[in-house]
Amino acid sequence: MLQQESRLRIADNSGGKRAKLIRLSKVESSLRSLEALVRITQVYPSKKLKKGQVHLACLTGFKFPQQRKTGVTVYSYTNDILILKKDKTPLASRVYRPIFLELRYFGLSRICSIARSIY
């Protein structure tokens, strides 16, 4: 279960390594809320992101098991996020970790098209 100050792993090539959760969006979905506000805590050198910046993010992997409508339970080994721009398109051009299939149904099909694998 995610809560304030949860540690998250950035799963794209935007330049960040780790982030902390500031708050989740108030929209509830079948996979909890998918959008979050995060603060960048660790970055790779010479990238777009800087330490301490606040960004909108999309949650793509949860440690907490998620129940699908079909009865299948899915989960990830880490809590993963993708950094988004203000118009809710991905900041990065690649996604390195698998993402949930449900992102396609919430209007985030651009993320699904750049992902390496979907589960």
Evaluate whether residue 2 is within a structural domain. Answer: no
Asked whether 96 and 13 are in contact (CB, 8 A), the reply is: yes
Q: How large is the greatest C-alpha to C-alpha distance in the chain, in angstroms?
A: 44
Domain with 72, as residue range(s), is: 7-114
Asked whether 53 and 77 are in contact (CB, 8 A), the reply is: no
Place of tokens 């992902």: 115
Domain CATH for 84 = 2.40.150.20
Evaluate whether residue 119 is within a structural domain. Answer: no
Evaluate whether residue 66 is within a structural domain. Answer: yes
Q: What is the pLDDT of residue 53?
A: 94
Task: Report the range of poorest mean pLDDT among 5-19, 32-46, 53-67, 99-113.
Answer: 99-113
Question: Is pLDDT at 6 greater than 70 in this prediction?
Answer: yes
Q: What is the pLDDT of residue 26?
A: 65
Between CA 3 and CA 6, with CA 15 as vertex, the angle to 5 degrees is 10
Q: What is the pLDDT of residue 66?
A: 83
Task: Provide the token pair at 78.
Answer: 């880490």
Over residues 93-116, the mean pLDDT reads 81
Number of structural domains found in the chain? 1
Evaluate whether residue 72 is within a structural domain. Answer: yes
Asked whether 10 and 97 are in contact (CB, 8 A), the reply is: no
Evaluate whether residue 21 is within a structural domain. Answer: yes
